[in-house]
Amino acid sequence: MRRKHFLIVISILFIIMTPLHGLADEQNKVSDQDEEAIKDVMDDMTLEEKIGQLFIVHVYGETPTDPNYEDTNLNNNRGGKNFKEVIENYHVGGIIYFNWTDNIGTPVDTEQVNELSNGLQEIAEDQRSEIPLFISTDQEGGIVQRVEEPGTVFPGNMALGAVGSKSLAHQSGEIIGNELSSLGINMNFAPTVDVNMNPDNPVIGIRSFGEDPDLVSDLGIAQINGYKEENVITSAKHFPGHGDTDVDSHYGLPEIDHDLETLHEVDLKPFKEAINSGIESIMTAHIVVPALDDSGLPATLSKPILTDLLREEMGFDGLIITDSLGMSGANVYPEDRVAVEAFKAGADILLNPPKVDVAFEGMLEAVESGDVSMERLDESVFRVLKSKMKQGLFKDPYTDKERIEGIGSDDHLQVAQDIANRGVTLVKNEADTLPVQSSEKVLVTGPGDANPVTISEQLNEKGVTADSFETGMSPTEDEISEAVEKASDVDKVIVTTYTANTDEQQQQLVDRLVETDKPVAVAAMRNPYDLMEFSEVDAYLNAYSYLEPSVNAIANALVGDINPRGTLPVTIPDLYETGHGLSFIDTPINAEGMKELVTYLENEGEIVDEETSHALSMHLTAVAHYEEKELTDKVLKHMNNFHLLLDHHRENEHISQKAHNYLTVDTDQLIELWSAK
């Protein structure tokens, strides 16, 4: 009854205070009356219910009461034999989904996840407190994404950094948010706004947008705003910045030795900008930062970092969420004190403790003993409930099953492919090794995770004679010798690498193939730094991802079906600076440059008749006139119309797919350039 009364009050206030337009904007505001209603709820909560709201935990199972995982949950200290028991026993504030807990399958069963989410909210509504759940996951895109096929798989943040497009970053956030929301997931631990400046970083790397704090800020905010369009809570991570470490905090305790000036100008800048943009939550890092706290404690457990810096100096009043408390970097206290000390440091939400009962009882004892004051507890519980209120969860926590039909739509998949295509970065191309010509025979080799077989198959489909040879992640001497032998029968060799800058055997594979004197092109399918170890290769491309859109993009680039336009979002030490990138056809991004590109494509036979070429050139001539006059609105209007013109000519087969690809990318870049003016 109490929740029904609460919902009636909220609904009346919502109708009275909200104009007919802008409902989505208004639901993300909390009025004074709403805050009073939250306080009324808190006044009726038990101590145990309040403490439970601080925890987001994982539970094994595909359904709320899945009988197949009861022993697994009990043996892994989940606090009950299934979701229902955990919610009943510990009044948890939220759940986090993983693949390895079988909450989300691979491939994802969208109906199952939607039903699980709705079922969990029903259980929460049946409790005495009737407080809806945060249902969360890590869906960054790239190497960290729990929802895969048939959902939309994105190449990841560093590919976006190579594109540098705020528009595509916004679209990626909007699409990921839409698909998560369709599954009943209302909180996403993304984006990663760490500024990656260390080639040896084992945990961030391509999860970052790059090493330029301005770029990271711009793309991070654009993505956050995309999530807001779909009413999904975001979490900027990992505060105060995990980008310059060479230790993975899952397995150790990294230390950041930056001085205060560097921290404020680099590491902290994206978080400051995210706060200014209205980010709902910030996730902490299990890293030691002596310039901010010389105690040796990780940021997650540091009051000077979480309270003095983030809460007070930076003025953040949203949710502070710990990174997983099961990670090695957080375990510097006894297991019953880790959650308590994180809370005392300033955290609001205690994420994923390894033993739910131990963490809960530790917090309960801390409050009952006075180690944690009721005032401090209420402060965080209020923030949790306020966040749930902002997201409309008290009003309606459920998700219509029909929404899952839009997951992995053609439009969504095309955006992911556009990011991958535009992100491909041609770093080196001696003697025009690339693109591969249809008359040439090639060998594609490398570790299986770098997809040499799939790329070879795609090259064959595109008219190139290609053989493949897959090696292990660290190729054996026999595998290297076999690759060298196979190279003797081809014109060129393409090596797909997977973080080869940290793998000596992959480096040997490339070195031995270079010694054959056959032209060697390397396609780096994960970290962009591999070139550091074999700079003598003839050609080098970065894909920033080994996932399907990036595999497609590399195959497209290798044969010249796309014109690489990506630029390095990070420095390759001693070789190339950020912003470097080559193209097969390097024309300026303006209307005159595009006219040059039209002429080139006509000469190559990619535009089938002079009439089409003339129509395209005439349109661009008008745009050039508006550019000269700096008439931004007219430039944008005519370039958007040029988009439609390209689509029309492609549909009528007046231009090839290659011509469409080349001209569309430059059109998008020109629109983005003028939109920023």
Chain segment 73-122, per-residue pLDDT in tens: 999 999 999 999 999 999 999 999 999 999 999 999 999 999 999 999 99
pTM for this structure?
Answer: 0.93
Do residues 380 and 343 make contact, with C-beta atoms less than 8 angstroms apart? yes
Separation of first and last alpha carbons in the chain:
55
Which residue is it, tokens 């092109």?
A: 521
Cα separation, 352 vs 96, in Å, equals 8
Do residues 597 and 587 make contact, with C-beta atoms less than 8 angstroms apart? yes
- Catalytic residue flag (residue 649): no
Peptide bond before 334: cis, by omega within 30 degrees of 0? Answer: no
Instruction: Give residue 17's pLDDT.
Output: 39
Whether the pLDDT of residue 6 is over 60: the answer is no
Instruction: Give residue 248's pLDDT.
Output: 67
**How many angstroms separate the Cα of 64 from the Cα of each of 69, 102, 168, 208, 294?**
11, 12, 36, 34, 45
Do residues 114 and 184 make contact, with C-beta atoms less than 8 angstroms apart? yes
Q: How confident is the model at residue 19 (pLDDT cuts 50, 70, 90)?
A: very low
Length of the chain as a residue count: 677
CA-angle at 318, arms to 315 and 319, nearest 5°: 130
Which residue is it, tokens 């101590």?
A: 47
Chain segment 316-356, per-residue pLDDT in tens: 999 999 999 999 888 899 999 999 999 999 999 999 999 99
Q: If you average pLDDT over residues 404-428, what whole number do you get?
A: 97
CA-angle at 294, arms to 289 and 299, nearest 5°: 40
Do residues 546 and 420 make contact, with C-beta atoms less than 8 angstroms apart? no
Chain segment 264-292, per-residue pLDDT in tens: 999 999 999 999 999 999 999 999 999 99
Instruction: Name the pairing type of β-strands 134-137 and 187-188.
Output: parallel
Whether the pLDDT of residue 9 is over 50: the answer is no
Catalytic residue among 194, 267, 293, 323: 323
Cα separation, 564 vs 421, in Å, equals 8
**Element at 234 (helix H, strand E):** strand 233-239
Instruction: Give residue 13's pLDDT.
Output: 43
Chain segment 107-117, per-residue pLDDT in tens: 999 999 999 99
Catalytic residue among 250, 264, 625, 643: 250
Whether the pLDDT of residue 3 is over 60: the answer is no
- Between the CA atoms of 249, 255, 256 and 257, what dihedral angle is there, to the nearest 10 degrees? -170
Chain segment 527-546, per-residue pLDDT in tens: 999 999 999 999 999 999 99
Cα separation, 239 vs 204, in Å, equals 13
Chain segment 474-502, per-residue pLDDT in tens: 999 999 999 999 999 999 999 999 999 99
Average pLDDT for the chain: 94
Cα separation, 231 vs 394, in Å, equals 14
Instruction: Give residue 8's pLDDT.
Output: 43
Cα separation, 339 vs 333, in Å, equals 9
Q: Which SS3 state, helix, strand or coil, does residue 79 take?
A: coil
DSSP string across 185-230? --EE---B------TT-SSSGGGSS-S-HHHHHHHHHHHHHHHHHT
Chain segment 345-385, per-residue pLDDT in tens: 999 999 999 999 999 999 999 999 999 999 999 999 999 99
Instruction: Give residue 25's pLDDT.
Output: 42
Share of the chain above pLDDT 70, in %: 95
Chain segment 593-612, per-residue pLDDT in tens: 999 999 999 999 999 999 99
Q: What type of residue is 38?
A: I
Chain segment 549-592, per-residue pLDDT in tens: 999 999 999 999 999 999 999 999 999 999 999 999 999 999 99
Q: If you average pLDDT over residues 612-627, what whole number do you get?
A: 97
Cα separation, 157 vs 216, in Å, equals 9
- Catalytic residue flag (residue 633): no
Instruction: Give residue 239's pLDDT.
Output: 97
Do residues 149 and 413 make contact, with C-beta atoms less than 8 angstroms apart? no
